[in-house]
Amino acid sequence: MRVPSGASRAVPTMDAADLKADRQPLEGAFDLTPRTLKGDASALSIEWSDGRVDRLRWADLRKQCPCATCRVRRAEPPPLFNILKPEEAAPLRATGMLPIGNYAYQIDFSDGHKTGIYSLELLRHLGQA
């Protein structure tokens, strides 16, 4: 039995271009990225790749939290009498932002809430409001 020389060359290889193509968003509808992203005590500032600059107040971001718990809570009537915990009554700010892949950020708020995943598309949308 004879193994043809150069048989190992027949093994398919993935080149860098293939890998990059795999990471393109499936829908391709939202292709803006933040050029800079910085937070201060009261707001998040985003400079987008198209040059637009948005300043989103942490309190507004918190109110629009996209997590399941907050979505349910927003659909309910507000409580008649609400005793806030000290951390809820204090001015709200973010204590951290964690990138999720390259399409979203998880924001840690000073009231202890951190289950909201804010997609770039949502952040852009909130900036338009």
Enumerate binding residues for Zn ion (CB under 5 A).
65, 67, 70, 116
Report helix, strand or coil for 56. Answer: strand
Between 59 and 70, CB nearer to Zn ion? 70
Nearer to Zn ion, 70 or 122 (CB): 70
> Taking the complex as a whole, how short is the minimal distance between the CB of residue 21 and Zn ion, in angstroms?
34
Minimum gap (Å) between residue 70 Cβ and Zn ion: 3
Closest approach, Cβ 107 to Zn ion, in A, equals 9
Single out the residue of 72, 52, 55, 63 nearest to residue 109, CA to CA.
63
Judged by CB, which is closer to Zn ion: 42, or 69? Answer: 69
The pairing of beta strand 117-119 with beta strand 34-39: unpaired
CB 66 within 8 A of CB 117: yes
Please give the backbone phi and psi of residue 6, each rounded to the nearest 5 degrees, phi first: 85, 10
